[in-house]
Structure 1
């Protein structure tokens, strides 16, 4: 079991590396490129200047606004004057999507051949394809992966070093409490960081010490019970 836990710890460790070394930098560069993009030259076609911002008129075919449930859906089906027809997804219904009706004429902003903004009568809404400056959530997921890797490695190492006396390094209650603490703290720090707009690196800087201190306190509270054989 100790060897298995150590081997399993390599999976979240790899995910942590990907999150901080590849995913986060890629999203940061994508957002920077989007913010730096300029309008396409007058007369540019949809196939030219994909790194610039172009605007095109479309007609709304239908909209889907499904709130609640496990899979909320916010979509607008659009068509152009030719044969193109496509679906644009959104993260929420407002401020534009829930106002649209079939037959409405809208203006779509395209970047790198994806619709990033839909607008009508001065009301604009970003689509799900629009790059966002939400690196705090990348950091939250990477931090959670690091915490899971550390937990699995620690539990596995203790079982190898103390095969007959590894309490309280078991799933119930210590491991389970650590897992839920890591999830709660990672997202409890990451989500407010997105809303407030503080730098992404504050997420691991705050979350890791909090989880480590909490784990140490839980360990101290469980040691007497383990010593009594509870």
Structure 2
């Protein structure tokens, strides 16, 4: 029953990814791509759907690379009325050059700084909308496949409590779990790098995992619908 409950939670996560997270990120990226520079009237009324440009001063920077505790950010200020922090994914190409007192040009969208520029050298911040829906899809596919596997293993154990071979952790369950994670990462990461459509991820990962489930399944065991 625990496996079945975990599979339901994983199925809910899969539905959340494909019903909300992926469409939300896709729409955010499209909205950003369609945004135009703010007019003076839009700036006056505080419109955040346009791209506003600000000339800011660097107050301090932090460049710390330590695994999960890595921090790459710059504290920026506008005169004496505003101060904020822009976070980056790494030191280059701009952050490593910045120092206190430097003047930069920041582009803001929906209240967040998305790009920082100094003398023609630009660096996107972590708030920059990105077209990386392939990663979202990989997470959703992984959750869906784990839900299916958990449901099958849990149902077999519930129905055949004394004879649930081969639906056990060793060796079938372990091999299938490792293969599922490997396939989703192995398909999702290259998909992000190459920019192929996000639906390519489930189209490739699901059949590969199903083939692996059949391949690792010991011969001579009864078939169970998956």
Per the normalisation by structure 1, the TM-score is 0.91
Range with bigger deviation, 114-123 or 156-165: 156-165
1:135-154 aligned at under 5 Å gives the runs 135-154=133-152
Q: Between Structure 1 and Structure 2, how many residues are aligned?
A: 221
Equivalent position SS for 2:67: coil
C-alpha change, 1:58 and 1:199, in structure 2 (3 Å) is same
1:84-95 aligned at under 5 Å gives the runs 84-95=82-93
Q: Distance in 1 between matches of 2:56 and 2:93?
A: 18
Aligned equivalent of 1:59, options 39, 57, 60: 57
Q: Distance in 2 between matches of 1:160 and 1:126?
A: 51
Range with bigger deviation, 117-126 or 160-169: 160-169
**Structure 2 equivalent of residue 11 of structure 1:** 9
1:196-211 aligned at under 5 Å gives the runs 196-211=194-209
**Structure 1 equivalent of residue 224 of structure 2:** none
**Cα drift, residue 208 of structure 1:** 0.8
Asked if structure 1 preserves the Cα contact closer than 8 Å seen for 2:60 and 2:74, the reply is yes
C-alpha change, 1:126 and 1:221, in structure 2 (3 Å) is farther
**Cα drift, residue 163 of structure 1:** 1.6
Equivalent position SS for 1:125: strand
Give a deviation string over 1:37-84, Cα, whole Å, max 9, x none: 000003654762211001001111111112242222111111110231
Q: Distance in 2 between matches of 1:192 and 1:72?
A: 24
Aligned equivalent of 2:166, options 162, 165, 168: 168
Asked if structure 2 preserves the Cα contact closer than 8 Å seen for 1:168 and 1:222, the reply is no
Q: Distance in 2 between matches of 1:171 and 1:55?
A: 56
* Unaligned runs of at least 5 residues, structure 1: 224-230
Q: Distance in 2 between matches of 1:155 and 1:118?
A: 51
Equivalent position SS for 1:107: strand
1:88-127 aligned at under 5 Å gives the runs 88-127=86-125
**Structure 2 equivalent of residue 227 of structure 1:** none
How much is the aligned-residue C-alpha RMSD, in angstroms?
Answer: 1.6
1:33 aligns with 2:15: no
Q: Distance in 2 between matches of 1:63 and 1:90?
A: 11
Asked if structure 2 preserves the Cα contact closer than 8 Å seen for 1:189 and 1:203, the reply is yes
**Structure 2 equivalent of residue 24 of structure 1:** 22
Equivalent position SS for 1:86: strand
* Unaligned runs of at least 5 residues, structure 2: 222-226
Per the normalisation by structure 2, the TM-score is 0.93
Equivalent position SS for 1:10: helix
